[in-house]
Chain A
Amino acid sequence: MTSAPPKSARFQLGPLLRGEAEVIAGWITRWTAGHTWRHVALIVAGAGAFGAAMGVWRAPAQAGFSAVKLPLILLATAAGNALLNGLLAPLLGLNLRLREAFAAVLMSFALAAAILGAFSPLMAFLVWNLPPLNSGSSANAMAHSVMLLTLVAVIAFAGVTANLRLLQLLRRLGGEVIAPRLLFAWLAVNLLLGSQLSWILRPFIGTPSLPVEFLRTGAFHGNFFESVFSTIRQLWPDF
């Protein structure tokens, strides 16, 4: 007869949001496939809802595409960097196993996705109150700026909160010195892969003059950082 797992081992959203480091550390040490699936489900639901709320401004089909692509970026970043994140942990002084490092990163992504999901009704309300993206009205430029600023604010809030909670967990596992070092290393590699994935999987809202599609024709041409550099050069040709 199998006994039920202790309460602290069961996944709950509340302790994750409150950053109860002891409970979360308990999940990491007793990580099961069930934990993985629940976190994946949270990422799919939360980031998916936010993607849909964002994409629906362009078209209903774009809402569906963005609902698939946004969780895909988070999951692919966690999976693609699992080995590297797992290697960096012992190299920087925290003796985490590969599975534990993956669990910690997946948990922080799940937390960010939960926050994004909670804000998705507000995003949908914002979109409902904006003029249609392809209306060409004079208020459209302002609407675009409002949308962009709101997206940046919500995503930044979700990202910062998730990383603060991850830092609390790493402090508990590795102490004050190692934790910020490891968090910085994980952030750097996740940003590198995540930004390129988001470049490949563009568009999330989409330019009104271009067709609604899952991937742009030249999805694999260029990269995120090249694009940022060329935008800067357009703004300052002497750069």
Chain B
Amino acid sequence: MNESNLNPPPPLPPSLPADELPLGEHPHDCNPIVGALGVIEAVLRHPRRIVFHLNQGSATGRLVGLLLAVALVFIAVYGAIVGSFSGGLQWWAAPLKITGGLVVTAAICLPSLYIFACLGGSPARLGEVAGALGGLMALATLLLIGFAPVAWLFSQSTQSVVVMGGLHLLFWLVAAGFGVRFLKTAFRRLGLRSENGLNVWVVIFLLVSLQMTAALRPLVGPGDKEPLLPRPEDKKFFVAHWFDSMDAQARRTPVRRD
């Protein structure tokens, strides 16, 4: 009698879903990320791969640089679409200010992200944290590029600064929402135990990015009627700026009776 029939092998443990496998054990994790196209594919389809490569240490800097470069190119392109509404000076001023705004937002929010990540129990290094933030920016700006044709079409068919501003804002919030989802997934892989601090940081990040709409105005409206940046005495909270813009629009628009 065959011995193997007497001692059947122990049952295999149920295999984990691919997303729950430890980092590096999924077949896609270790594939190299080559160039901008590799970054785009990884951010969209294999976010675990980004986290795995950030976690390796040796190429963290290169990957963070690639993520940032992709985000900067995409946001500059989307900035040109924003500028196309008013044209003229805004063709170059809007992309420049929106790109600068995103860089400043990331730079001033990075230290607090590192602090909140550590307070949440993640052993992530600053480079990994910067990479997770770079991934958020790359994914959000990639989505903005996806929205760009819609935004361009509206910008050519409406004269309302408020409608266009609202539309860009909506696109940014949707894009940032997906970016934040990437960030949270990345930090779970990077050992985050509590997301409370990260949620606070997300609110801070969104507030800073929204305040940029007031700090760098005009972004959508014509650039030749106002200074390139608001004068010190004209600084406003972003909500006040939005309400003022809506009031100004309402005063300019005649009541239609058709």
Residues of chain A whose beta carbon lies under 8 Å from any beta carbon of chain B? 13-14, 17-18, 114-115, 117-122, 124-125, 128-132, 135, 137, 139, 146, 161
**Chain B residue at minimum C-beta to C-beta distance from A14:** B118
Q: What 7 A-B pairs have minimum CB-CB distances, sorted nearest first? A: A17-B118, A121-B108, A118-B111, A118-B115, A118-B112, A18-B118, A132-B232
Inter-chain CA distance A122–B208, complex, in Å, is: 8
Does B111 lie within 8 Å of A121, measured CB to CB?
yes
Does A135 lie within 8 Å of B233, measured CB to CB?
yes
Given contacts A18-B121, A122-B109, A122-B208, contact A128 B215 (CB under 8 A): yes
Given contacts A129-B214, A132-B233, A135-B232, contact A119 B119 (CB under 8 A): no
Residues of B107-154 at the interface with A, using a CB-CB cut-off of 8 Å, are 107-109, 111-112, 114-115, 118-119, 121-123, 125
Which residues of chain B have C-beta atoms less than 8 A from A17's C-beta?
115, 118-119
Does B235 lie within 8 Å of A118, measured CB to CB?
no
Which residues of chain A have C-beta atoms less than 8 A from B163's C-beta?
none
Which DSSP category, helix, strand, loop or mixed, fits chain A's interface?
helix
CB distance from B117 to the nearest CB of A (A): 9
Does B108 lie within 8 Å of A122, measured CB to CB?
yes
Which residues of chain A have C-beta atoms less than 8 A from B122's C-beta?
18
Which residues of chain B have C-beta atoms less than 8 A from A122's C-beta?
108-109, 112, 204, 208
Instruction: Check: B92 CB closer than 8 A to any chain A CB.
Output: no
Does B118 lie within 8 Å of A119, measured CB to CB?
no
* Selected A-B contacts with CB under 8 Å, 27 pairs: A13-B118, A14-B123, A17-B119, A18-B119, A114-B115, A115-B115, A118-B114, A119-B112, A120-B111, A121-B108, A121-B111, A122-B109, A122-B112, A122-B204, A122-B208, A124-B108, A125-B104, A125-B108, A125-B208, A125-B211, A128-B215, A128-B235, A129-B215, A132-B232, A135-B232, A135-B233, A161-B119
Instruction: Check: B237 CB closer than 8 A to any chain A CB.
Output: yes
- Give the bracket for the number of chain B residues in contact with chain A: 20 to 34
Q: Which of B107, B111, B204, B235 is A130 in contact with, Cβ under 8 Å?
A: B235
Inter-chain CA distance A17–B121, complex, in Å, is: 8
Inter-chain CA distance A17–B114, complex, in Å, is: 10
Given contacts A119-B112, A122-B204, contact A131 B235 (CB under 8 A): yes
Inter-chain CA distance A73–B136, complex, in Å, is: 38
Q: Which of B115, B211, B214, B233 is A137 in contact with, Cβ under 8 Å?
A: B233
Inter-chain CA distance A75–B237, complex, in Å, is: 36
**Chain A residue at minimum C-beta to C-beta distance from B122:** A18
Inter-chain CA distance A35–B232, complex, in Å, is: 44
Which residues of chain B have C-beta atoms less than 8 A from A130's C-beta?
235
CB distance from A228 to the nearest CB of B (A): 30
**Chain B residue at minimum C-beta to C-beta distance from A161:** B119
